[in-house]
Amino acid sequence: MKNLKTVLVLVIVSLVFQYTSAQKQPNVILLFSDDAGYADFGFQGSEVMITPNLDKLASEGVQFTQGYVSASVCGPSRAGLLTGRYQQRFGFEENNVPQYMSKMSGLDGPNMGIPLTETTMGDYMKSIGYQTAFYGKWHLGGADKFHPMKRGFDEFYGFRGGARDYWAYTKPPQEELNKLEKNFGNFKEHDGYLTDKLADEAIDFMTRNKKKPFFIVLSFNAVHTPMHATKEDLAKFPELTGKRQEVAAMTLGLDRACGNVLDKLKELGLEDNTLVVFSNDNGGPTDKNASINLPLSGTKSNHLEGGIRVPFLMKWPGKIQENTTYNYPISTLDLLPTFYAAGGGKTKDLKNVDGVNIVPFVQGLNTERPHKELFWKLGARAAVRDGDWKLIRYSDRPAELFNIEDDPSEKKNLAVYYPDRVKQLFKKLYHWELTLERPAWLLQKKFEKVDIDRMDRYRN
């Protein structure tokens, strides 16, 4: 009997140790918006948008003034985010939408995704003991083999495609990949407004897993087209009209959904042990949803700052100082190693990632730049940032050179004044391109003659 009691005590001690050890791992939540404008949040200076919850998040953590994505369009940007690697390294250079296909393999929309040889953020977090979930827009391959639950996520609620209605479909959508799905193969439309519903699903997951470390990617389709907002949210902006009123209302809905998640964290007593990031997938389209990217030039689909620089917030109580800013360039490529390291993983175990763990930089333990160079590429167009210098290569006109520190709005092209620097940056760009795979898919034949700088209207 004495031995039995001893065994029971040891089992209980072991269980308690496992529980407390697990709780030392922070929960991790990525709040990710779609097509939001750089200036369309209160914490970014907007006096029109109503975003109290995200403004509060900004005041409770660090705001990155030079947060970048790895692509200026949805699919490639998300592929870089989920792998921590430049997506061109595995051929995911263009959007995976029906207008694109591979001449070599005949790939169609559903079969264009992150190659199965790549390890995702979900895979890595799951490997160190996290319960993982993905909610919302996937857009990383519609075929079953690319499904989130086969790419490292325990649960899924959302749609496999790139854009869908915010209200429930009364008949099957034109694009089958935009049907709403719960976990694997359970297709059923929702009740209410999708932005709110996605947050509700994330809250349910948090509640069910509050005693375990969890990792959530809450990938809103807000504020991507179609322009759908609730009547109540529209009524909050009587001074606005048209798309501008609609995007303001949709942003309010996005903020409310984020706030509901953050409030639930506090209610569950998890706030102090949770790392939260908010960001966006690419620059806002100034035409389709009337986003505003000022003071940056450019828009979604191009390599000016307005196409690749995004709002970027991080909160981690006790680890990151409140109400601060970080001014060196960072990238969404950095989130995978940052989350993995926060969860106790060793970044040296990550496979060929291009991102870095940015926490030591934010904490001031490392005073160097996280990235000396950053690269972007979409077809013949490309850009490189080296320190504060940025070169943009076009398909139909001479390259442009800017000093981003002095000229973040990219108003003054300095290429003619610094020809040696232009040459140097071209060499860096070419050297990087030699490390990439060929694009796995391109525009279909009927679009091939369209100038690459005018393709934006074909992209989601």
Measured CA distances, 202 to 81, 84, 127, 208, 260 (Å): 20, 23, 21, 10, 10
The reported pLDDT for the residue numbered 106 is 60
Write down the pLDDT at residue 13. Answer: 34
pLDDT at position 23, please? 53
Strands (E), 22-115: 27-33, 62-64, 67-68, 100-101
DSSP 3-state of 87: helix
pLDDT one-digit tens code per residue, 114-123: 999 999 999 9
Contacts of 401 (CB under 8 A, 6+ apart): 389, 390, 391, 392, 413, 414, 415, 418, 421, 422, 425
Side chain identity at residue 250, one-letter code: M
Per-residue pLDDT, 105: 54
pLDDT single digits (tens) 134-156: 999 999 999 999 999 999 999 99
* pLDDT above 90 for 217: yes
Q: Name the band, by pLDDT with cuts 50, 70 and 90, for residue 240.
A: very high
Query: Which residues lie below 8 Å from residue 232, measured CB to CB, with a gap of 6+?
Result: none
The Cα 300–Cα 68 span in angstroms is: 13
How many Å from the N-terminal Cα to the C-terminal Cα in the chain?
68
Residue 22: predicted pLDDT: 46
Both tokens of residue 414? Answer: 């300095």
Taking residues 231-241, report their average pLDDT: 98
The yes-or-no verdict on residue 444 having pLDDT over 70 is no
**In the prediction, which pLDDT does 24 show?**
87
- What does the domain layout of the chain look like in residue ranges? 24-370, 380-437
* Residue ranges of E strands in 302-438: 309-310, 312-315, 324-326, 330-331, 373-378, 381-386, 389-393, 400-403
Alpha carbons 381 and 400: distance in angstroms, whole number: 12
Residues 16-36: tens digit of each pLDDT:
434 444 458 999 999 999 999
- 24-370: what CATH class? alpha beta
For residue 287, the model assigns a pLDDT of 93
Beta carbons of 142 and 179 less than 8 angstroms apart:
no
Asked if residue 451 has pLDDT above 90, the reply is no
pLDDT digits (tens, 9 = 90+) for 388-401: 999 999 999 999 99
- 380-437: what fold? Arylsulfatase, C-terminal domain (3.30.1120)
> Is the confidence at residue 261, as pLDDT, over 50?
yes
Q: How far does Cα 64 stand from its chain's mean position?
A: 14
Smallest CA-to-CA distance from 75 within 37, 113, 108, 119 is with 113
pTM of the model: 0.91
| Mean per-residue pLDDT, 286-290 | 94
* Whole-number percent of the chain with pLDDT over 70: 89
pLDDT higher for 295 or 3? 295
